[in-house]
Chain A
Amino acid sequence: MTESVVVKRRDFLKVLGLSSVPLLLGDSSKLVLAIASPSQEEIRAMEKDLRLTRTVRGVCAYCAVGCGIIFYKVGDSVVYVEGDPDNPINEGKLCPKGKASIQLFGEYNPRRIKTPMIRVNPKPTVDELKAVRNQADLRKIIEKYKPVWKPVTWDEAISFVARKIKEIIDEAGLDPRQEDGFYYNGKQFPVMIEAGAKLTNEEAYLIKKMATMMGSYNIDHDARRCHSTTVAGLAGTVGFGAQTQHFIDTQFPAVYLIFGGNPAENHPVSMRHTLRGREERGLKLVVVDPRYNRTASKSDIFAFFRPGSDLAFLLYILHYAFWERNPPVDQLNTFREFVERFNVDIDEIAEFKEIAKDYTAEEVSKITGIPPDKLRLIAQTYVENSGVTTNFQKFASIQWAMGQTQHHIGTQITRMSALIQLTLGNMGFPGGGLNPYRGHSNVQGTTDLCILSHILPGYIKQPSSTLQIRVYQDWKNQGFPDAWNWEIPEWAGSAFGPNERGKVNSTKILWSWWFHNWRRFELTWGIFVGTDPEDDPQNGTVISDFPFGAGYTENTWWQGALFDDVIKAAIIMAENPAVSNADTLTEYMALASLKLLVVVDLWETETATFADVLLPGAVQYEKYGSITNSSRWIQWQDRVASPPGDAKPDLWIMTRLWEALKAEGAVRLPSQVYGKYRERVLIRNPYREGEFVQLYERKISPFMDYYTGRLPDEDYSEVDPELVYREIDLAVDLYNGMYDWVDRRPLAKRRIAFLRGESDIDGILDRTYLMHKDWGWSWPKNVRILYNLWTLSKTLGRRVTYEFPSGKYAVGPELDGKTVEVTGETGEIRDAVSGEWRPAFIPGHNFVVGKFYKRAWSGVADVFTGAVDPRSLLSGRVVGKFVFFHEDGGYEIKTADELGIVCPLCESFYYDQEVVMAGKANYKKPYFKGTKDLGDGRVVKYVGFYDWRRVRDAFTSELAQLADQMGLKGAIIEMKRRYGEWYAYPSPDNPSEIWAWDMRYPIHYEPAESICKELAVKYPSMAWRRGENFNLISPPKEDFRELADTVNLTPEEMHVPEGAVVVTATTNRLTEHFHTGQLTRNLPLLAELFPEPFVEIPKPLADSLGIKSGDIVEVGNNRNRIFLRAMVTNRVPKMAIGPDGRECYVVNLPWHWGWAGAHSTFAVVNTVSGIYMDTVTTMQETKTFLAYIRKASPADYDYRAEGEPTSWAAPSRRR
């Protein structure tokens, strides 16, 4: 803990006076500027304060910039907060949220809940909620069922919850005994866990671990709603779904395109670096947004655009580059060079060029509303400042947040950004890349580690078939090889990549990486995945403690509860979906349908309205743990204060719950049901058919014991977060390296703000681009700029070499004893043999690298050389056995000691030229492949663009025709009925073959709800490809049929009252508030700035409707009607769109308000937003939907300031 003696805020003033002429005195309850000197007594009192005062450092709990924050404490009282001047990200600065965050502590915030509670009155019912169509209806129900709580002890609360969950699991009748083995289906578990992005890395990791060991993948978190489409779009294209640059680096682009983000409001401190670039380096700030926001106020070029037309705008940039520019970028040598680097077949680019061809400035102008001249200006500015046009001297970079992600084609939009950067040579450089800024302080970490329903921590595949487990067991028997040394058995087929040893492709490398990580989980969690017996992978019984498949997401779980009857209970920690979920009324029904809802939060939130049990949690500052910021930097949070009353950190709550569930018998691993308690670790003798060598034996017993007794705090005595941190380092390859096993320290705690010397690893880059590589640690392997392969050689023109002394490091023959050239950022790792630091990626980092690897101990040793049990692993002990086979079939077993291996827990992976260059960007990526049999003699075949183009017009004109007859909703249902798939049409060559667009490249799709019917049929929405979306227009369950009436796909389908105008609505956040508002509305210092809910309305529209700022207006659609204040402004646009240039208005709805806490209202913005989900990730389309707007009566407005804000100052001058 970094603590030093400083001073108490109030007495801070006095104490400061000690050093020179005292100037501030008087009684302690008043700020008085006086001339008198302090008395001797006063000086003694001050000296005492001085001794008592200390500082605690951490990371801001709001957004993901990751500003360092210092709290000053006197005794148990937190007295002042300031930015951490040493932290290179914020250099002492904070935005208003960071600065106000002192009011989160219990001593200042009377609204914090302090004791566990069980509800004693009934909850709202599904049927009543089903009938809600306006704010007043909702209010009536919520007020009727206002929770009545009975305070209970933690023991009572936890055992109540555990007992209930056990009952619910028993009712569901889950049994891991399947026909073909022992495993659970991860989507059948009746309890949904939603755990927020405010959890620490350790908490996120543990909750996923717990869910997995209970047999559940019904676990998800806010990332689903914020950047899931970024992760999918980028990971599918360049390997990692993360920001490639970092905040300090945002001063280096030549052009910074802010498209889909608003950093001045949502990541304020990041603007420090961006504006520095603008002032000192000539960075041009280009903002394209539906609002002229605070970022736009600083722009060099600004354009309004219609929300939902994102893809068209982005496609135009490449249209310009390929078709308008002379010469086209693909004729440039630099382009060819770059394309070669990302391994793209030039034919693929030709296909994509054909797509881009149609997106002319004139056409795109009709879709986006941006005038053609301005489109040209933006594209030109962007393209001419790119890598390929400047010989990699200048780079244009893209920033975004929810603007790109929250669409039903969000994955396509973010992927399109990546394609632009690939095409223009802007990827993988300081100053050039992709900058999705993430929202929550730790949402990158909670994604990585990973409160998600579809992957295991570190982006590892969840198994989906017994064949995979058999192949995995066989892989183990081959000695845990890397892809190059792995021979995939013939019986596995071709799905895992080329069978022969030595032959690889990306599928094979990825499988070897997933397997490697499965093994890490087996050893660190004490579970078993494989076959019994171990030496018969092909015929043995499959046992998998990993469940199979993928679970419900935050956006689909309501269907799991209402339509599928699977979800019967939920545990929601640090999340408030009753305000944040789209189409929230459906969420309310799902919440109300549950037999048990447990909410863990700081406050009694809107979600708690539906809860049976409410448990008091802790804010980030009240915890110990690591936090990963948006650019993958991991920093440490120390506990500033204990949570108020009986509130507890989530780590404590979840481990308590785990113990109780275990005691209830609710945890039954498949291996336990089978009776598998030991694993024999067997390696097949490659020279003697059928012979296995046993390396060691390990115990199978689920591990959840993190006791160290190291920390003084009672609620951390049983679970030491640092021990969990170590486990993450071992279990998750992505995070491996964040613990320094040689010096035994978490690198997240590293606080060295000096830049490296030129001769240090990555020293030149660190110095030139202010990377601050000794501050914290970043994944992968402390790389700060993802895919940085060429900066040294191409941009800086430096020749840098590194010598691998022979026999010293855990590397293969390609590197051992060689002097290699380094051309980009290598990152660094502690070498497993010597324990010394060495560069990781040679000659630099590249696409997917990190997932791609080679292993020095391939075929000869288990991961970490093996572990008898997880606990000893965490304390640094390994089994340490290696087997070396001789060609005559003999072998010898050696220990790590005998081999002189210093640090088996350090990284034994290495990354040579072959690995780094295997990293391929997926320029083309079909999201649908193969065929689908319709069962009536017809087959749906997913096709590429050339084929799709042949049927596209027939598809859209048939849709248009039907839409004219029956409306768009009916037309979609009919088209899907006719052709068995959406975006499908019979092949012109063979009518029994239906061609469906495989989505290999982004094209423009209108939003599910489009203001312009002509555009909606010319560029149909892709939403209906996904079953859960189709359920919205055609609900699968009788009781919910009327839900289809809440959908309005075009203005024609909406019930529009008199005096109202239909507009395109978008949602947004404000600097001063955070998400559902609980963390800001409840803080008087922030509520002062924006107390009331409002909607921003374009002035011409307001004028025509007779609306003035401050008036109450109604915003509604078929889903709900809400009432808020009007803010009339020219900062939201009126624009001309569509074939006839019709006028279209955009209104903006900040969504920070709900009915719970201070500054409350039932006007929950998301009750009018739609829940059309991304075809890949189920992200909701909250950035654009249809609504009408009209003037309303003040009587409809139900805002309540609810109690005057209380003074923040502990000893208030008012009291």
Chain B
Amino acid sequence: MEYGVLVVVDRCIGCRACQVACHVWNGTEAESTEFSPDYTNPPDLTSNVWTVVRFVEMGEGDGLRWYFVKRQCMHCVEPACVAACPTGALHKDKDGIVLWDSKKCIGCRYCVEACPYGVPHFDPLDKTIRKCTFCADRVREGLEPACVAACPTDALIFGSLDEIRARAEEYRAKGHPVYGLEEGGGTSWIYVFPKETAPSDAGLPRLGPETPRERIDKGLLALAMAAVAGLAAWGVSRGKAAPAAQEVKVR
């Protein structure tokens, strides 16, 4: 059985219990951050911060909207990072979880380039990449991921991917924009957005239904470009995200 999580943005109160819970469970250190102009902090995922809540403010007056979108590894059905990893350190397990084996990781950072969501981050101390593990160590023992377990308003719903996809379809039928059912071949973390918004407002990359493998077939150049576009859109166009984006370009 593959696992999945539904992120119901309408239920999220932007409290960031998920962000803290991820640290507490995984023992990742807090990041030294600076002032953030929109509450999102750190502005992007890092090798220590495996999930970050992005604050999206739109409009003004009666048209003012403010909503909160949790980011983490999407655990893609067909992960671009896995496709790009030359050593097999990154792999997708039978239960749908995309993991890395730090003993095999050589720090080449191909995955960093390949991921359209800007998820894997190179850790300068470990000299490997690090990212959300879907709390494999919890879910395989029948526990919810740490972030899901903490979320006060059940904005995060954990279950089998089939069940999660079915619930996402229900929301879509009710007119909610949904992300992750098809994009890039689908993801295990699927987002339900508030009715009057679009996933791209929250910076999710506009991806077609083709899988990375299919895209790789279309040529590596196209892939690299997609990665850059993805990072710029989903990641953050200011502050700390910039070097990451540049890093991709340099290569």
Q: Are B27 and A1131 in contact (CB under 8 A)?
A: no
Query: Does the CB pair B64–A95 fall under 8 Å?
Result: no
The answer to whether A1092 has its CB under 8 Å from any CB of chain B is yes
Pick from A16, A30, A264, A272: contact of B154, CB under 8 Å: A272
Report Cα–Cα, A13/B24, bound state, in Å.
13
Contacts of A1088 in B (CB 8 A): 19, 30-33, 41-42, 49
Q: Are A1085 and B30 in contact (CB under 8 A)?
A: yes
Could you give, for residues 32-43 of chain B, a 1 whenever the CB lies within 8 Å of some chain A CB and a 0 otherwise? Answer: 111111110110
- Report the bound CA distance from A32 to B100 in whole Å: 9
Interface residues of A in 11-60 (CB under 8 A from B): 13, 16-17, 19-21, 23-24, 26, 30-35
A275 touches B153 (CB 8 A): yes
Q: Is B14 an interface residue (CB 8 A)?
A: yes
Contact B64 A1131 (CB under 8 A): yes
Contact B102 A32 (CB under 8 A): yes
Whether a CB of chain B sits under 8 angstroms from the CB of A877 is no
Judged by a CB distance under 8 angstroms, whether B107 is at the interface is no
Answer whether A1205 and B19 are a contact pair too, CB < 8 Å, given A33-B133, A1125-B35.
no
Q: Among A77-85, A234-242, A593-601, A1162-1170, which stretch is in contact with chain B? A: A77-85
- Tell me if A294 and B140 are in contact (CB < 8 A): no
Residue of A10, A23, A1204 touching B27 (CB-CB under 8 A): A10
Q: Does B17 belong to the interface (CB within 8 Å)? A: yes
The answer to the question of B57 belonging to the interface, with a C-beta cut-off of 8 Å to chain A, is yes
Q: Are A268 and B27 in contact (CB under 8 A)?
A: no
A1086 touches B102 (CB 8 A): no
Query: Contact mask A1203-1215 → B, CB, 8 Å, 1/0?
Result: 0110111001110
Q: Which of A33, A1086, A1129, A1205 has a CB less than 8 Å from the CB of B32? A: A1205
Chain A stretch 60-114: residues in CB contact (< 8 A) with chain B: 80-83, 90, 92-96, 98-100, 102
Q: Is B249 an interface residue (CB 8 A)?
A: no
Closest to B154 in A: A272
A181 surroundings in chain B (CB, below 8 A)? none
> In chain B, residues 116-138, which have Cβ atoms closer than 8 Å to a Cβ of chain A?
125-126, 133, 136-138
**With known contacts A94-B17, A264-B13, A1099–B27 Cβ distance under 8 A:** no
Let me know if B14 and A1205 touch, CB within 8 A: no
Whether A1090 lies near B41 (C-beta < 8 A) is yes
CB-nearest residue of chain B relative to A13? B137
User: Taking the complex as formed, is A1084 at the interface, i.e. its CB lies under 8 A from any CB of chain B?
Assistant: yes
Whether B17 and A96, one on each chain, are in contact in the complex, defined by CB atoms closer than 8 angstroms, is: yes
Q: Which of A862-877 contact B (CB under 8 A)?
A: none
Q: Which of B144-152, B208-216, B217-225, B227-235 contacts A (4 or more CB under 8 A)?
A: B144-152
* Smallest beta-carbon distance B242→chain A, Å: 15
Q: How distant is the Cα of A1204 from the Cα of B48 in the complex, in angstroms?
A: 15
Contact B34 A271 (CB under 8 A): no
Which of B65-73, B168-176, B181-189 touches A?
Answer: B65-73
A83 nearest in chain B by CB position: B150
Q: Contact: A1214 with B29, CB < 8 Å?
A: yes
Given A81-B24, A99-B24, A297-B66, residue A1110 in contact with residue B35 (CB < 8 A): yes
Alpha-carbon distance between A873 and B171 when the two chains are bound, in angstroms? 62
- Chain B, residues 55-82, CB within 8 Å of chain A (1/0): the string is 0010111001111100000000000000
Per the CB 8 Å criterion, the residue count for chain A at the interface is 76
Q: Which residues of B contact A292 (CB under 8 A)?
A: 64, 66
| Min CB–CB distance A370 → chain B (angstroms) | 12
Inter-subunit contact A294/B17 (CB<8 Å): no
Tell me the nearest residue of chain A to B59, going by C-beta. Answer: A1130
Give the B interface residue count (CB, 8 A): 57
> Quick one: which of A670-692 are within 8 Å of B by CB?
none
Contacting B at CB under 8 A, from A1065-1097, are 1071-1072, 1084-1092, 1094
Q: Are A90 and B152 in contact (CB under 8 A)?
A: yes
Q: Is A1109 an interface residue (CB 8 A)?
A: yes
A residues less than 8 Å from B16 (CB atoms): 96, 1071-1072, 1089
- Kindly provide the distance from the CB of A1090 to the nearest chain B CB, expressed in whole angstroms: 7
- For B20, list chain A residues within 8 Å (CB): 96, 99-100, 1085-1086, 1089
Cβ–Cβ contact A1131 & B152, under 8 A? no
Check: A357 CB closer than 8 A to any chain B CB.
no
Query: In the assembled complex, which residues on chain A have CB atoms less than 8 Å from the CB atom of B160?
Result: none
B residues in contact with A1087, CB < 8 Å? 30, 33
Contact check, B27 vs A31: say whether CB atoms are below 8 A apart: yes
Chain A residues within 8 Å of B42, by CB: 1088
CB closest residue in chain B, given A1100: B60
Known: A95-B15, A294-B14, A297-B14. A1212 touches B29 (CB 8 A): yes
Flag whether B201 is at the interface (Cβ < 8 A): no
List A contacts of B19 (CB < 8 A). 96, 1088-1089
A297 touches B30 (CB 8 A): no
Q: Is B2 an interface residue when CB atoms closer than 8 A count as contact?
A: no
B49 to chain A, nearest CB (A): 8
Contact A1084 B68 (CB under 8 A): no
Residue of B nearest to A36 (CB): B103
Question: Is B23's beta carbon under 8 Å from chain A?
Answer: yes
A1071 to B152, CA, bound (A): 13
Minimal beta-carbon separation of B15 from chain A (angstroms): 4
* Residue A615, interface by CB 8 Å: no
CB distance from B158 to the nearest CB of A (A): 13
Contact with B along A263-276 (1 / 0, CB 8 A): 01100110110010
Determine the distance from Cα of A10 to Cα of B153 in the docked complex, in whole angstroms.
27
> How does the 8 Å CB contact mask read for A1081-1124 relative to B, with 1 for contact and 0 for none?
00011111111101000010000000001100000000000000
Distance, CA A16 to CA B136, complexed state (A): 11
Contact residues in B for A129 (Cβ distance below 8 Å): none
The answer for the CA separation of A13 and B137 in the assembled complex, in Å, is 6
Q: Which residues of B contact A32 (CB under 8 A)?
A: 101-103
Task: Judge whether B100 and A275 touch: CB under 8 Å.
Answer: no
Residue contact B30 to A94, C-beta cutoff 8 Å? no
- Given contact pairs A31-B26, A1209-B27, a sample of 7 additional A-B residue pairs in the complex whose CB atoms are under 8 Å apart: A20-B141, A24-B136, A93-B152, A96-B17, A268-B17, A272-B154, A1212-B29
26 contacts between A and B (CB under 8 A): A9-B27, A20-B141, A30-B102, A33-B136, A80-B25, A81-B24, A94-B150, A96-B17, A96-B19, A96-B20, A271-B153, A1085-B20, A1088-B30, A1088-B33, A1088-B41, A1090-B36, A1092-B34, A1109-B38, A1127-B37, A1127-B38, A1130-B60, A1130-B61, A1207-B29, A1208-B23, A1208-B29, A1213-B27
Which residues of B does A touch, CB under 8 Å?
10-11, 13-17, 19-21, 23-27, 29-39, 41-42, 49, 57, 59-61, 64-68, 99-103, 125-126, 133, 136-138, 140-141, 149-154
Q: Which 7 A-B pairs have the closest CB atoms?
A: A1109-B37, A1084-B30, A264-B13, A1130-B60, A1092-B35, A1209-B27, A96-B20
